[in-house]
Amino acid sequence: MNKQKKPRLSELFFLFFKMGGITFGGGYAMLPILQRELAETRKWVSEEELLDFYAIGQSTPGIIAVNTATFVGYRTAGIPGALAATAGMVTPSLIIITFIAAFLKTFSENIYVQKALRGVNISVAVLLLTSVYKFGVKSILDKTGMIICLLSFSLIIFAGWSPIPIVLLSITAGIVMHFIRKGMKG
């Protein structure tokens, strides 16, 4: 892992504040922004690590976005970092939802809101597709990796599996591969 500077807590808070304020759809929709801000621009974590955090966040209890924020915050600045990142992540929701609940209950019925959301979703699709490509380059290192990736995709889409058995099975596959490689070396 590259040497990183420890971020200031306010920097963590505002980064996740920004993320909470512009991501529609929660956990997975924030990945492209996490990738850009944390891995590419700031280099606080590597893309591989982001995938690991996300995998853990997906298979432990709680909201994925919060799990990932806590993980990244802890990785970069310890327990205070975890708290700052999580607080940043939820603050936009608190402000926006309180405002809407108080003054604008019919917000989501507005035709322009609906049109804008349809457009936003198209952008989210684009961002996610490019994220998949970038993560794919970093995580699929050989044929076995390709097979695991395709299996994971197909089992969820076509067989309706939940992510947790996929996470457990792929960890097992990684461990089995470890011993096969060791065995081959003698």
Partner 1 sequence: MSLAALFFEFFKIGLFTIGGGLATLPLLQDAAMTHGWFTLEQFFQMVAVSQSTPGPIGINMATYVGFETVGLIGGIVATAGLVCPSVIIILLVAKFFFHFNEKPLVRSAFLGLRPAVTGLIATAAFNVLLVAVFPWYLYKESGLLSELFDPARLGIFVVILTSYLYFKKHPALYIVAGAILGVIFL
Residues 101-140 within binding reach of partner 1 (CB under 8 A): 101-102, 105, 107-109, 112-132, 135-136, 138-140
Contacts with partner 1 in 38-57 (CB under 8 A)? 48, 51-52, 54-57
Output 11 or 21, the one with its CB closest to partner 1.
21
Instruction: Name which position in 4, 11, 14, 36 contacts partner 1 (CB under 8 A).
Output: 36
- Cα–Cα distance measured from residue 73 to residue 11, given in angstroms and rounded to the nearest whole number: 11
CA distances from 83 to 16, 17, 72, 111 (A): 11, 12, 10, 37
Instruction: Name which position in 11, 14, 46, 167 contacts partner 1 (CB under 8 A).
Output: 167
Output 6 or 79, the one with its CB closest to partner 1.
79
- Cα–Cα distance measured from residue 35 to residue 53, given in angstroms and rounded to the nearest whole number: 12
**Burial track 83-92 (b if 16+ CB lie within 10 A, e otherwise):** bbbbbbbbbb
Output 10 or 93, the one with its CB closest to partner 1.
93
Query: Per-residue contact track with partner 1, 139 to 158, x per CB under 8 A?
Result: xxx---xx-xxxxxx--xx-
Residue 106, number of CB atoms within 10 A of its CB: 8
Q: Which of 148, 150, 152, 174 is nearest to 163 (CA)?
A: 152
Q: Which two tokens stand for residue 168?
A: 């457990």
Instruction: Name which position in 11, 28, 42, 46 contacts partner 1 (CB under 8 A).
Output: 28
Output 4 or 56, the one with its CB closest to partner 1.
56
Output 6 or 138, the one with its CB closest to partner 1.
138
Q: How far is the CB of 34 from partner 1 (least distance, A)?
A: 10
Q: Which two tokens stand for residue 182?
A: 């060791």
Q: How far is the CB of 13 from partner 1 (least distance, A)?
A: 14
Residues whose CB falls within 8 Å of the CB of residue 16, separated by 6 or more in sequence, listed in order: 69, 73, 84, 85, 86, 87, 88, 89
Q: Does 80 bind partner 1 (CB under 8 A)?
A: no
Q: Name residue 137's amino acid.
A: V
